[in-house]
Amino acid sequence: MSEPAIIRPDKQTFLAEENPFEAMMERFDHAAKLLNLDRGLYKVLRNPEKQIIVSVPILRDNGEVEVYTGYRVLYNTSRGPAKGGIRFDLNVTLEEVKALAAWMTWKCALVNIPFGGSKGGVVCDPSTMSMGELERVTRRYTSSIIEVLGPDSDVPAPDVNTNERVMAWIMDTYSMHKRHTVTAVVTGKPVEMGGSLGRREATGRGCMIVTREALAKLGMSFKGARIAVQGFGNVGSIAADLMAKAGAVIVAVSDKSTALYNPKGLDVQELLKWVKERRQLAGYTKAETISHEQVLTVDCEVLIPAATENVITRKNAPHIKAKIICEGANG
């Protein structure tokens, strides 16, 4: 009979205020205890298989050399090639990337997808970079981690501040190194380059469907339901758009630049056009500007955290008025 896992002593902690990896591991410890997980497996699963830290030097448009830091973590590949997104953000840390890679491992296993988990990121601010600079960062980062990439080893995907175009650059860079086209090295690439139909909308559409069914379960109408969306990237913007088209009222949205509120409902189509032209919500004047913290606590039936992990804390949780929280973000 296998020996049970050795679980760290229970302690009162508050996940969002801790190291992201330790916060994730605390949840893992709780699950391992419930599962009576084998002690050997427990030890293996508490440690990532591979952690890569790289320097990403590029030439800026003004002629200055800038050096960014990049990470790629392969957490576990027991079930198959590692799978996980790449984010470009100033808040990227190794501990965050490790936590996200672990969550990818658990998610793939839970839904029985034959992949392991990974995650990556570059510490940078895409809002201050030109398209050419973003391309140079992407290609240099890809070249620096290329030894772990591949359809049979590690397959990246879009995440915070990365999209189909970034995936195309990664695929092209990898293919140049391999001397032939390798479309399967990334997911989330343009349909014209072998991407999947509906992939871009999948997560946001999933949020819409889950929210609709949850409201029905509680005997509440989707039409007219007030919804607050934290994050207006690929997930949040699409979820807001689909929900508004289905009759819900989007009362609040936010991105890194600002947060907007209108109790009568925001014009999501107008916001999408605004962001497409300006790359951020800041400057939009047809709504009340509120704090990022207030987005989580406005009067609404549904709250959708679709930005980054661990935004709900012991401090703001008592003030959340939503009856349903639909998690659009990792963690």
Residues with active-site annotation: 119
Listed residue (114, 91, 153, 117) closest to 24, CA to CA: 117
- Give whole-number Cα distances, 229 to 66, 192, 278, in Å: 34, 30, 19
| 3 state SS of 16 | helix
Q: What is the CA radius of gyration of the chain?
A: 21
> DSSP state, 239?
H
User: Which residues lie across from 83 on neighbouring strands?
Assistant: 117, 155
- Alpha-carbon span 254 to 236, nearest angstrom: 9
- Alpha-carbon span 205 to 328, nearest angstrom: 10
User: Which residues lie across from 82 on neighbouring strands?
Assistant: 116, 154
248 touches 224 (CB < 8 A): yes
Q: Both tokens of residue 64?
A: 């200055």
Alpha carbon 58 to its chain centroid, in Å, reads 25
260 touches 284 (CB < 8 A): yes
- Alpha-carbon span 92 to 87, nearest angstrom: 8
- Strand stretches in the chain, DSSP E: 50-59, 65-76, 82-88, 116-122, 154-158, 226-230, 249-254, 259-261, 288-290, 302-305, 324-325
